[in-house]
């Protein structure tokens, strides 16, 4: 029976407190639905970018965004497989179930195989020991002891053991990152799918690898790893918390949420103005290719009446800006 060894230090407690505080802010702050969608898309792009870099695929974020939005399909097959694996855990998180089959399915999305390695690796369990190690890990993960463990610590533990075992021939790191993310999302710590952590791992890769090595150096004591893992989450959730608070404080958001109802088309106008600052008549077709100019002008008039935007200039030279 697997019994994870670790000590909850003051630093880990501080990190978990910070994560919990950010969770409360994110879950209880109202922003426009269109901004919720944008935050989720940004998180997806950052997750895919970070995981790709962990496998030495240095793909620009714009290229990833273009692929996700269906504008182009220029990504390497391996990176498109990462996208498929990420979307798979989105579906799986609803089921709230993580086991050996889920682990294999995720790696299969990445490598097509999803079978355990048959080659030896230094400081790793031998191939004939992998199955027993994986069974023990998920027996613990789905045990009462695990369910009584804080979800953050639980997700850190499953990631650490997968890094230590390296059960597959390829894409072990991405697989362990995705299983950890799935664990967070399945236990209510998904932050509305607005959170990316893999980019933090890449940006601190030397420290990441040092903490993983500490598992072997300290006979599978997980304390150092959990400290790093919670620090990563604390840093990323704090950043997300501040971003959400800024969106909520923004004048147009404050006026458009809760107190004032606006349509989806009007939300698109607000988003355009957030991104580009100014909207002109000649921009209408770009934003709404199948909508008449008169209809767009009526939407603009409603936003003006609600004191969300302001019109400057006259006739065709008119431009619209946020208040």
CATH T-level assignment (fold) for domain 252-322:
Arc Repressor Mutant, subunit A (1.10.10)
The half-sphere exposure of 210 on its side-chain side, counting CA atoms within 13 A, is 7
What percent of the chain clears pLDDT 70, i.e. is strictly above it?
96
pLDDT for the residue 142: 96
Buried b (16+ CB within 10 A) or exposed e, 43-74: bbbbbbbbbbbbbeeebeeebbbebbeeeeee
Residue range 10-249, CATH number: 1.10.3290.10
pLDDT for the residue 4: 95
pTM of the predicted structure, to 2 decimals: 0.79
Smallest CA-to-CA distance from 78 within 110, 56, 44, 47 is with 110
Strand partners for 116: 168
Report CA 288 to chain centroid distance, whole Å.
29
Buried b (16+ CB within 10 A) or exposed e, 95-130: eeebeeebbbebbbbbbeebebbeeeeeebbeeeeb
pLDDT for the residue 257: 46
Rounded CA separation 168/100 (Å): 12
Please tell me whether residue 168 adopts helix, strand or coil conformation. strand
Rounded CA separation 138/59 (Å): 34
Domain ranges of the chain: 10-249, 252-322
- Would you place residue 156 in the very low, low, confident or very high pLDDT band (cuts 50, 70, 90)? very high
pLDDT tens, position by position, 233-275 = 999 999 999 999 888 766 455 554 444 567 878 888 887 887 7
Rounded CA separation 161/225 (Å): 10
Rounded CA separation 191/184 (Å): 9
Average per-residue pLDDT for the chain: 90
Rounded CA separation 17/21 (Å): 6
pLDDT tens, position by position, 158-181 = 999 999 999 999 999 999 999 999
């Amino acid at each position: 029976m697997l019994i994870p060894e670790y000590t909850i230090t003051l630093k880990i407690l501080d990190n978990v407190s910070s994560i919990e505080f950010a969770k409360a802010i994110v879950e209880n702050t109202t922003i426009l639905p269109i901004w919720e969608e944008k935050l989720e898309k940004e998180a997806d792009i950052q997750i895919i970018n970070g995981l790709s870099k962990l496998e030495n695929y240095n793909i620009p974020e714009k290229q990833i965004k273009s692929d996700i939005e269906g504008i182009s399909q220029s990504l390497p097959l391996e990176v498109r497989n990462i996208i498929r694996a990420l979307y798979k855990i989105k579906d799986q998180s609803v089921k709230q179930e993580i086991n050996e089959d889920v682990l294999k399915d995720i790696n299969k999305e990445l490598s097509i195989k999803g079978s355990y390695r048959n080659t030896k690796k230094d400081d790793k369990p031998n191939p004939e020991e992998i199955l027993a190690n994986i069974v023990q890990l998920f027996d613990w993960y789905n045990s009462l002891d695990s369910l009584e463990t804080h979800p953050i610590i639980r997700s850190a533990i499953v990631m650490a053991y997968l890094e230590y075992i390296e059960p597959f021939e390829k894409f072990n790191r991405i697989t362990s990152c995705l299983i950890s993310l799935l664990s967070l999302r399945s236990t209510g710590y998904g932050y509305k799918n607005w959170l990316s952590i893999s980019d933090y791992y890449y940006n601190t890769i030397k420290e990441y690898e040092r903490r993983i090595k500490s598992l072997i150096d300290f006979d599978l004591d997980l304390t150092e790893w959990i400290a790093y893992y919670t620090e990563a989450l604390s840093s990323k959730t704090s950043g997300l918390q501040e971003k959400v608070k800024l969106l909520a404080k923004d004048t147009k958001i404050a006026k458009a949420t809760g107190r004032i109802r606006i349509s989806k088309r009007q939300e698109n106008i607000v988003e355009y103005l957030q991104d580009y600052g100014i909207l002109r008549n000649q921009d209408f077709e770009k934003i709404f290719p199948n909508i008449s100019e008169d209809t767009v002008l009526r939407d603009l008039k409603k936003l003006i009446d609600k004191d969300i935007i302001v019109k400057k200039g006259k006739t065709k030279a008119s431009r619209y800006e946020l208040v």
